[in-house]
Amino acid sequence: MENELYTGVHPILVKLDQHFRATKIGTINDEFVARGVLINGGSAEMIKKILSNEPYSIKINSIDSEVQLHAKYKSNIFLKIPKIPRINFILFILTVITTLLAGALMEGVNPLGNPIGILRGWPFSITLMLILGFHEFGHYYFAHKHNVNATLPYFIPAPTFIGTFGAFIKIKSPIYHKGALLQIGAAGPIAGFIIAVPALIIGLLLSQIVDISQSAVGITLGDSILMKILTVIIFPNLAAEQDVVLHPIAFAGWIGLLVTMLNLLPIGQLDGGHIAYAMLGRHHAKVAKIALLALIPMGLLSINWLVWAAVILILMRSTKHPPVQDVDIPLSKFNKRIGYACLVIFILCFIPIPFK
């Protein structure tokens, strides 16, 4: 933590270069301390003015002929929601409509013959929107906490069988140190996972068992480790010729696990790319390339992996991650635990063959 704090505060010393010359620097608990002399007519008031927009609380004490500067990182614990831009609101409403439509179709509703029947899609729509919303607001909250400028979520409506292409936020200012990068990247998958798991459990309890010994029409969904565990617990006596037809809430939960898994791939600027870069530093480039290349043989199991690899290449154009200032500074133990937790979530959610 001390190394991360020191590297994060280094730009402050650069800004003060014309007015303050440090002779000793160090850390005390969660404070950065620099002792030195004022130069070129510098003053304590001038230093505070220069640093007024920095995310640190500054204290300056006079000690003999020198001054001592204390800088403590200010995290924005309380989130102030800005005015919602019109485009974000419109996209949100459209995505609610398209996910309602998708949920209604799962219930066998013909929206052309019965337009009001679209409301029967609310269990699927609300569940999926909650999962996506918590995922993106996880990113948004921790970006705000670390004084990184980020937009509110953009939801993407789509004429697909789930009614959406997901959601995203745009980071509009640089992320300078690894601790912030890891927490911002990990917050989304963890928040989405926390909502998806209980949704999946509730949905499985509402799901039905059917006999598949006769020919049937439908989409077979792949199982993750977590899905296998929950299915065995909730349906312990499921026979070989039987299968579970997921309730729309369970299907939304399953999609939540799939989205979490895909986002945690350690490639480029995916959430997993942020986390892996923070954890591995310069070694991330090799891991990202290996992960992307691994999607090609995975395509032999399911063409979905080739589609996802193509989407990554088209949107990101590179497996590399933008650099941060403290790439060679070790993460704190707390941040490492967050990274390991995301690895566990990725393993639990991994689905070799998402759709058949």
pLDDT digits 0-9 by tens, 291-329: 999 999 998 888 889 988 888 888 777 777 877 777 778
Average pLDDT over residues 339-351: 96
Q: Which comes out higher in pLDDT, residue 342 or 14?
A: 342
| pLDDT recorded at residue 53 | 63
Q: Which comes out higher in pLDDT, residue 256 or 50?
A: 256
Residues 112, 114, 119, 120, CA torsion sign: negative
Provide the residue ranges of all domains of the chain, joining segments of one domain with +: 2-73, 86-349
Give me 2's structure tokens. 């001390």
Give me 113's structure tokens. 């013959």
Rounded Cα distance between 254 and 258, Å, is 6
Q: Confirm if 176 and 8 have CB atoms less than 8 A apart.
A: yes
* Helices and strands in the chain, H and E counts: 11, 8
Cβ–Cβ contacts within 10 Å for residue 137, how many?
A: 21
Q: What is the pLDDT of residues 148-167, one digit of tens each?
A: 889 999 999 999 899 999 99
Q: What is the pLDDT of residues 260-297, one digit of tens each?
A: 999 999 998 899 999 999 999 888 889 999 999 999 99
Buried b (16+ CB within 10 A) or exposed e, 246-270: bbbbbbbbbbbbbbbbbbbbbbbbb
For residue 74, which of 60, 56, 58, 48 has the smallest C-alpha distance? Answer: 56
**Distance between alpha carbon 40 and the CA centroid of its chain, in Å?**
46
Residue 7 pLDDT more than 60? no
Q: Confirm if 101 and 118 have CB atoms less than 8 A apart.
A: yes
Does residue 167 sit in helix, strand or coil? strand
* Residue 239: DSSP 8-state: -
Binned at pLDDT 50, 70 and 90, residue 59 comes out as confident
| pLDDT recorded at residue 67 | 78
Rounded Cα distance between 205 and 18, Å, is 67
CA distances from 83 to 88, 157, 190 (A): 10, 22, 26
The 3-state secondary structure of 89-130 reads: HHHHHHHHHHHHHHHHHHCCCCCCCCHHHHHHHHHHHHHHHH
| pLDDT recorded at residue 191 | 97
Buried b (16+ CB within 10 A) or exposed e, 190-218: bbbbbbbbebbebbbeebeeeeeeeeeee
Domain 2-73 grouped into CATH 3.30.980.40: yes
Share of the chain above pLDDT 90, in %: 47
